Amino acid sequence: MHTDETHNMTAHLKSQSAEKVVIVGAACRLPGSDSLSTYWRNLMAGQRCVAPVTRWESLRETAVHGGLLEHVDEFDAGFFRISPNEARCMDPQQRLLMETVQHLMDNCGVPVQTLRDLQCGVFCTGLPGDYKFLLAQEPESAFSSHSFLGNATSSLAGRVSYFYDFHGPSVSLDTACSSSLTALQIAVSQLRAGECESALVAGVSVFATPEVFEFAQRSNMLSARGHCDAFGDEADGFVPSEGVAAIMLMSASKARELGLDVLASIEAISLNHDGMSNGMMAPNSQAQAALIASSYERCGIEVGRIGYVEAHGTGTRLGDSIEVAGLVNGFRAQAQPYDTYLGASKSVIGHTLVCSGLASLIKTLLIFRHSTIPGQPLARSLNTALDLDRFKVSEQAVPWPSDKAYACVSAFGFTGSNAHLVLGKPEPRKIDPQNSPGPWAFLISAQSSPSLYERIRQVLGVLDGLPDDQLAALSVALGKGSQPYRLRLAVTASTRLSLVTQLQQWLATPTEQLGVGCSKVEVLPDTVLAERLQRWLAGIDLPLYDIGHAARYPRIELPGYPFDRKPYWVGTELIVAQAPVAASSPRRSSVLDTLKSDLARLLGFEQADIDTSRSLRDYGVDSISLIELLSQLGAGASRMQPHDVFDFASIVALAQALEELQPVSSAASREDAVTSVSRSPMTWTQIGQGRAIVLLPPLNMSAQAWMQQVNVLRRQGFALHIPSYPGHQGTPLDEGRFSLEGLVLEIEAYINEQLEGHPVPVVGWSLGGCLALALCRRAPAMVESMILISTAACFGDDIFGKTIELNAELQAHADYLDILLEPRQSIAEQVGAGASMSALSRYYQMLGQLDFSAQLPGIAVRTLIVHGQQDVVIGGADVTLLQRLPNARLEVFADQGHFIPLTAARRFNELMLDFVQARQP
């Protein structure tokens, strides 16, 4: 029975769950601050960082205030290997989150590879996102495959895990204003369960439209005075703000092993819900008190040892009074004396909504670091109606009480989800003073020349006022966990003056002389260090100092990576991939130029920005854009599998391989190739022999979408006829002649010419279902029966907004679909049709104008409607409308969504066969 083994495993799990989780890094970008240090300065100064909202013209003449971040349209797409065209289609929340996560990596100083080895989990929250509504207003330039990922809430965590190659749990969630502490609670649980050994928790709130302000204003929730006066007598509403924050967690023992600074320990974190109160948006003091009391009792927290509570503190009279009552009753449950300061960061930065819990937590981390509690800014005076009991609200900064060990953070969601956190103040790390005479090595690294120059300036800023005896600590800070960025500079120096002089000289160095491995190195007496330095300059990913050595020096906090940001926003110039001007097939000498030109056009770069010594991944090429790229490159590229292309280390190497695959004889020109497929706007695939059946696929999906139906239908004696629509799989789309009617005419002509006009069963899925309806309306005699899967009779202008989450739905079935598909390729690669951005926009425009509502009663073809209740595009009202078809019956899949033929194939195939084989008498 393996009793000893079971006992040991149980003991290990108990030990693991009992071990404390600690915070080892933090980063934030909040109103009025882009770093931890500026956030602390604003807190200490009581600086209100909200102002009249002027970002949107509709609010410029109002008194509405908000805490808005600057330059939210800007992003360093190149750093994250994202193309300009994809960056323009990304919700700014994703962009700001990625940059702040990188600053978190810089702050904690743990190499990314170490975090990979620790199976780092990612737990994120963000607003539902309103950028997609701006995209929908610019369909000509904004509709693309990137828009799906770029605006899906699941991509907040997913994109972080993808970019850093983390394999731990990856979760995006929303519990309103308690979201970020809820994410923290789940992260702590996953760490204690052994699902991951490190965890990243992040939250972001960014407004692309004035929607939040307008809703709050109409609901009379905004402060009329334009400031959040938490606990003040002028509290009259909240002030919406933007923000992004992130922290890194791991076990206390792992942090010690890695020599990391501990910013705080997680002593307790608990969640509950208000249940039924005076209204779903009305807070419940009894539930808040119960949460606090039960959490303290369960985790052994004594209220007398709590020095500070960072309250939710929205600055509303009702909310403040209910929260204070909950705190007082929760503390009184222990029947012990307490003496605790109370504050709220929202009086400084406003209410950052889903990010607010982490903003409050980071304030508390800074209180621990500086052993000081900032004063609570009040507009006039304290609200005397609050029964504070033994809580104290100080308008002046006070020292941290030496007899206190804990601080608490509360966050409450407006839908009733509550979170309460207890943090433990860490003991200062013991430093073993080192008197090494130097010289020391100083590493500076960046992905672009502007960022490298700015990083040099950042280091010079740190050196301003830094004493010589701190140079070794600066060397350690720069060398510990240094990322292997493309451009690297190493300087050695023994004195501050020498280092400053050399860095100033590098600032004057022309850009073209800054490259991989530039250095100005004196002779290093430490031969091991010298060897590491040379390896680092050569591009090997390793820290300059080992963990034990680095732990002996005091921590010097460096500024975060200086991103080389550029504006990316819908409505700005977008490079749309179009078919090239007709020309001869590229000869061997011009393949590289052709590849470079096509790549620039497809991704939105200027051609001069393409460095052919770098890889396709460096420019943000993914599997979907790669299919389109290869389709434009002629015969050689058609003989190469998309997943193989990523194996090439550079664009030059890819071009050489394509040259070798080019036919030796004078092949057909690109013009001939395009003409040969454009004689008909639609190409068809026939599979099998026998009774004909027409399968019309969804938008931007190939014949592979029917992979689960092909063999079933062939075994039953069917010949499958599947079209590829114009603009799909490399075929052209004539925008001047493109229309729904044109597509239906092509289907009608094919049935007449190839199937001799005999009535056939037609199975239409999504867009294919719309085409089936149109065919029935135009030529009902051709359609023996019709199956409509995930189809609507009309979509309206918000079709893009509805389809944003489809990729997330497909990914939710990834485990199942990976069994069916080639594991080296993504789902999208294998079932997608590689439609271009311009083609997709035309299809969405067509669908937005489609409306069969009035014609439905006149379509008498025998019809089966197949609907998934979890479909994010087709709702119950759409299905009810379709049931106006006079000869239709409905089959509902309660646990399925938009992709039933793929994700519920067995049941669907049975229905399909029963229906198409039951011919009308």
Active site residues: 177, 312, 351
Q: Answer left, alpha or beta for residue 730, where phi above 0 means left and psi between -120 and 50 means alpha.
A: left
> C-alpha dihedral over 447, 450, 456, 461, to 10 degrees?
-120
Angle at 603 between CA 652 and CA 163, to 5 degrees: 85
685-722 in b/e burial notation, b at 16+ Cβ within 10 A? Answer: eebbeebbbbbbbbbbbbbbbbbbbbebbeebebbbbb
809-828 in b/e burial notation, b at 16+ Cβ within 10 A? Answer: bbbbbeeebeeebeeeebbb
Angle at 478 between CA 477 and CA 483, to 5 degrees: 120
The answer to whether 806 and 790 have CB atoms below 8 angstroms apart is no
Tokens of 215: 């809703």
Helices 905-917 and 707-715: crossing angle, nearest 10°? 40
The answer to whether 231 and 342 have CB atoms below 8 angstroms apart is yes
Tokens of 120: 């780092």
Strands, DSSP E only, in 377-534? 391-392, 398-399, 406-412, 417-424, 440-446, 487-493, 518-520
Strands, DSSP E only, in 158-227? 170-173, 198-205
Tokens of 86: 């994809």
Cα separation, 491 vs 571, in Å, equals: 44
Work out whether the CA dihedral 890, 891, 894, 895 comes out positive or negative: negative
Tokens of 583: 């020309």
Q: Answer left, alpha or beta for residue 359, where phi above 0 means left and psi between -120 and 50 means alpha.
A: alpha
471's CB contacts (< 8 A; 6+ apart) are: 438, 440, 493, 494, 495, 496, 499
Cα separation, 908 vs 751, in Å, equals: 25
Cα separation of the two ends of the chain: 66
The answer to whether 746 and 680 have CB atoms below 8 angstroms apart is yes
Cα separation, 258 vs 109, in Å, equals: 10
The answer to whether 39 and 245 have CB atoms below 8 angstroms apart is no
| 8-state DSSP, 903 | H
Cα separation, 26 vs 377, in Å, equals: 24
Beta bridge partners of 306: 406
> C-alpha dihedral over 627, 631, 634, 637, to 10 degrees?
10
Query: What long-range pairs does 593-598 form, CB within 8 A, spacing at least 24?
Result: 594/633, 595/633, 595/651, 595/654, 595/655, 595/658, 596/651, 598/629, 598/632, 598/633
For strands 406-412 and 417-424, give the pairing. antiparallel
Strand order in the sheet with 683-687: 683-687, 718-724, 691-696, 760-765, 783-789, 863-868, 888-893
Nearest to 75 by CA among 88, 61, 57, 58: 88
CB-count burial class (<10 Å; 0-12, 13-18, 19+) for 916: buried
The answer to whether 347 and 394 have CB atoms below 8 angstroms apart is no
Angle at 120 between CA 479 and CA 903, to 5 degrees: 145
The answer to whether 853 and 793 have CB atoms below 8 angstroms apart is yes
